[in-house]
């Protein structure tokens, strides 16, 4: 906290007036420290969905929802998406600064040294049904890493924490690619360390032993940019899940598996799959009004997938880059007349002119255009969320490391407003009526 000017906020609770300390970060609104509220005021705060609650101090990622700004360690996402690449972004997130050439080379070497999975893990994959959703497999396999890598589960040991971090970043592409290969009945493809991070992932997904396969650099660049855009997003649901799980001292693989599970939901990472499926269901531009009407109907649970965000109330800067990238990739591939892209563009246009969406400040989010690019690369919709998980792993790990090294670390334990029955006596079954 940068501000030590001893400002306070006054809160009256009954007869008492409490002076609550206030702090300023380097960016963003000030915070009121309520840690002594229960002890001094005998009350809890009530904030379901944590819309006004800061759960931690963090120096990793900053979002200004009104400006539509996203910074990783201070660097705007637009600049990183254009000039940097995912493995460099991983270094930036993990260690706080852009690497020198030597640091980058060393980091890439360390990551590529860990890309293979313990060979016995292939049997673990084979235990799943072929029609399992790849997210179910990824969630299970990441959790199972704690059964295979015992030498990096002691969270009190900085060296083990570092090895676990590198292992997760290095092995996620292999795990996600193998979940895909397993689901389509093709042999697992081993990682190729001569390839860059994104190309290696594409190679493991799309090459087969029977044929030559060369990764298209256009697709590899698009894949890498998708990874960069998803790498971290401060205290979202899955990151907060990772932090809460790790506050109990659980091992890193268990914590990241918890993050994967949370990401799966359609309100979070599952939205990319849901969005492309929605765009396909709409199918043609003339059906858009019908879907807009449904999204506005209070009695219909339907929402426009890929629209809206808890924090961004202006625009999602990742969506802007993603839209531009979708145009570029489809153009370079010569499929710019892709009907789904046409529906997406028209839907965006109509929604952004509609009073309902304007009033509620609903804009396209990162998931609105990412599915179109992933589809053009050749992925089925079921792979979209696992790819998000792959990219977000570095963010989860960075947040986990920051939390573990915080001397103020306490187990996360929210309180509640209890509305159930008051204490009552047990009634024997024959007397219940």
Residues forming contacts to ligand CMC in the complex (CB under 6 A) are 236, 267-269, 271, 295, 303-310, 360, 362, 365-367
Q: Is the dihedral of CA 353, 354, 360, 366 positive or negative?
A: negative
Nearest approach in angstroms of CB 238 to ligand CMC is 8
For ligand CMC, the closer CB: 240 or 247? 240
Nearest approach in angstroms of CB 195 to ligand CMC is 28
Q: Tokens 């306490």 map to which residue?
A: 410
CA distance 259 to 391: 12
CA distance 183 to 221: 25
Which residue out of 114, 133, 233, 309 is catalytically annotated? Answer: 309
CA distance 247 to 361: 34
C-beta of residue 67 within 8 angstroms of C-beta of residue 27: no
Nearest approach in angstroms of CB 270 to ligand CMC is 8
For ligand CMC, the closer CB: 112 or 228? 228
Which residue out of 196, 232, 367, 375 is catalytically annotated? Answer: 367
For ligand CMC, the closer CB: 163 or 397? 397
Q: Is 157 assigned a catalytic role?
A: no
For ligand CMC, the closer CB: 167 or 320? 320
Nearest approach in angstroms of CB 291 to ligand CMC is 10
Q: Any idea of the CA torsion for 373, 374, 380, 384, to the nearest 10 degrees? A: -130
Cα-to-chain-centroid distance, residue 265: 11
Q: Is 367 assigned a catalytic role?
A: yes
C-beta of residue 122 within 8 angstroms of C-beta of residue 99: no
For ligand CMC, the closer CB: 149 or 312? 312
Nearest approach in angstroms of CB 343 to ligand CMC is 16
CA distance 117 to 145: 9
Residue 293's alpha-carbon distances to 95, 272, 275, 283, in angstroms, are 47, 21, 17, 16
Catalytic residues: 309, 367
């Amino acid at each position: 906290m940068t501000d030590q000017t001893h400002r306070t906020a006054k809160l009256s609770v009954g007869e008492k007036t409490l002076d609550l300390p206030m702090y300023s970060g380097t960016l963003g609104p000030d915070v009121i420290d309520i840690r002594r509220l229960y002890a001094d005021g005998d009350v809890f705060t009530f904030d379901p969905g944590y819309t006004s609650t800061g759960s931690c101090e963090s120096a990793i990622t900053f979002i200004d929802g009104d400006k539509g700004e996203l910074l990783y360690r201070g660097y705007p996402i637009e600049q990183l998406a254009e000039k940097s690449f995912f493995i460099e972004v991983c270094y930036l997130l993990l260690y706080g600064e852009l690497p020198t050439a030597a640091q980058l080379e060393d980091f890439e070497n360390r990551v590529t040294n860990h890309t293979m999975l313990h060979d016995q893990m292939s049997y673990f994959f084979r235990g799943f049904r072929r029609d399992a959703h790849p997210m179910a497999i990824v969630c299970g396999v990441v959790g199972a890493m704690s059964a295979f890598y015992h030498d990096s589960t002691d969270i009190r040991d900085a060296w083990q924490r570092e090895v676990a971090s590198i292992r997760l970043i290095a092995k996620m592409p292999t795990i996600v690619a193998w979940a895909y290969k397993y689901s389509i009945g093709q042999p697992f493809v081993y990682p190729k360390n001569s390839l860059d991070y994104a190309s290696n992932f594409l190679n493991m997904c799309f090459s087969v032993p029977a044929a030559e396969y060369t990764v298209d650099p256009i697709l590899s660049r698009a894949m890498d940019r998708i990874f960069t855009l998803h790498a971290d997003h401060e205290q979202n649901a899955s990151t907060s899940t990772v932090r809460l799980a790790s506050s109990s001292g659980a091992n890193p693989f268990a914590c990241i598996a918890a993050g994967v599970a949370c990401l799966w939901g359609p309100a979070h990472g599952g939205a990319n799959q849901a969005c492309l499926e929605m765009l396909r269901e709409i199918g043609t531009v003339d059906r858009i009004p019908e879907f807009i009407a449904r999204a506005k109907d209070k009695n219909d649970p339907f929402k426009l997938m890929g629209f809206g965000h808890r924090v961004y109330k202006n625009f999602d800067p990742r969506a802007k880059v993603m839209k531009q990238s979708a145009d570029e990739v489809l153009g370079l591939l010569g499929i710019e007349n892709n009907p789904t892209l046409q529906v997406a563009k028209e839907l965006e246009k109509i929604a952004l002119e509609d009073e309902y969406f304007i009033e509620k400040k609903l804009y396209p989010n990162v998931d609105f255009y990412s599915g179109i690019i992933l589809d053009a690369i050749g992925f089925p919709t079921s792979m979209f969320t696992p790819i998000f998980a792959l990219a977000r792993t570095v963010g989860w790990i960075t947040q986990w490391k920051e939390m573990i090294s915080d001397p103020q670390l306490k187990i996360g334990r929210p309180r509640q407003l209890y509305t159930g029955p008051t204490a009552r006596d047990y009634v024997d079954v024959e007397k219940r009526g």
